[in-house]
Amino acid sequence: MTRFAKPNAWEKFFWPLLTAGLLLATWNYSVKWSGTQVFPSPLSVEKGMAELLRHHVLWADIADSLRRVAFGFGTAALLGVPFGLALGWYPAVHQVFNPLIQLLRPISPIAWIPVAIVLFGIGDHAATFLIFLGAFFPIVVACASGVSGVPVIYRRAARNFGLRPAQILTRVVFPAALPQILMGLRLAFGIAWLVVVAAEMIAVDSGLGFLIIDSRNSGKRYDLVVGAMLMIGLIGLALDTAFRRLEKIRSVQWGFRDEY
């Protein structure tokens, strides 16, 4: 495979599957040869997951995690996109809010856990709030920088064509910033999926994060711990792939690198 050659169709699947297979084999033989009693082999993880599926617990946990992410991320997007647009568009808004955002942004959502519990008690609301926090700031920052990065030439053309300021925002600035906004949303979605696991370990008693901590605490079921981890990875990959589909929409494709 040379650097510039277009890979064959079979290669697209063959190489990743080979790496995954090698990793599984390494894992399997490491467990076998080290004789560990605690760490599970791939096969016992598979058995553990099958057991969970038979008892219909896994689907409920997945659904709970997804629901929390949907609410937390949805709220963050709903509030963060307009706020970010305003931040990038109106210098006054930027002046008032930007220092505060820059101060709050580096605080990990994990650090907010005690505050979230004080504010919302143990339960869904606290978890959703943490996901919201994790997603909100990246969305705001991406939207603001997307808007302020819109080339002056587009705004000038818009003014020349007689657009009013509100129209310039909706018909020129927003579509011009959309690729960056989408990138911000995708990044924030990834963070939301990271945060949900942490939030579920502390604030609630369902979801994939809870499954991990519960499996460890009640009976050291490491087969379920590793199984849930793999599940989180798989769902994260699926969601990210779905998000990437958005980049293929023709009216935003110009803002993304060509992929061959």
Partner 1 sequence: MAAEAIISASSRNAKLRMRNVSMAFERDGKSIPVLENINLEISDGEFICLVGPSGCGKSTLLNVMGGFISPTRGVVAIDGETVRGPDPRRILVFQDHGVFPWLTVEGNIEFGLSGLSRAERKERVAHYVQMVRLQGFQHTYPRDLSGGMNQRLQVARALAMNPDVLYLDEPFGALDAITRLMMRQELLRIWQAERRTVIFVTHDVDEAVQLADRIVVLSSRPAKIQDVHSVDIPHPRNISSSRYLEHRDHLLTKIGLAYSA
CB of 137 to partner 1, least distance (A): 26
> With contact defined as beta carbons under 8 Å apart, do 129 and 110 qualify?
no
Show Cβ contacts of residue 209 under 8 Å, excluding neighbours closer than 6 positions. 65, 196, 197, 198, 199, 200, 201
Of the two residues 125 and 171, which places its CB atom closer to partner 1 in the complex? 171
Instruction: Decide: 158 and 122 in contact? Cβ < 8 Å.
Output: no
Chain centroid, CA 26 distance in Å: 29
Closer CB to partner 1, 126 or 178, in the complex: 178
**Nearer to partner 1 by C-beta: 185 or 224?**
185
Using alpha carbons, select from 193, 172, 207, 180 the residue that is nearest to residue 238. Answer: 193
State the minimum distance, in angstroms, from the CB of residue 234 to partner 1: 34
Q: Looking at this protein, which amino acid is placed at residue 47?
A: K
DSSP of 21-69: HHHHHHHHHHHHHHT-SSSPPHHHHHHHHHHHHHTTHHHHHHHHHHHHH
Least distance to partner 1, CB of residue 95, Å: 21
Residue 8: DSSP 8-state = P
Query: d(Cα 145, Cα 96) in Å, to the nearest integer?
Result: 16
Instruction: Tell me how far, at minimum, the Cβ of 255 lies from partner 1, in Å.
Output: 8
Closest CB 147 distance from partner 1, rounded Å = 14
Cβ distance to partner 1 smaller for residue 9 or 152: 152
For partner 1, the closer of residues 100 and 152 by Cβ is: 152
Count of other CB atoms within 10 angstroms of residue 163: 16
| Nearest CB to partner 1, comparing residues 160 and 218 | 160
Q: Which residues bind partner 1 (CB under 8 A)?
A: 151, 153-154, 156-157, 159-162, 171-172, 175-176, 178, 250-255
Q: How far is the CB of 250 from partner 1 (least distance, A)?
A: 6
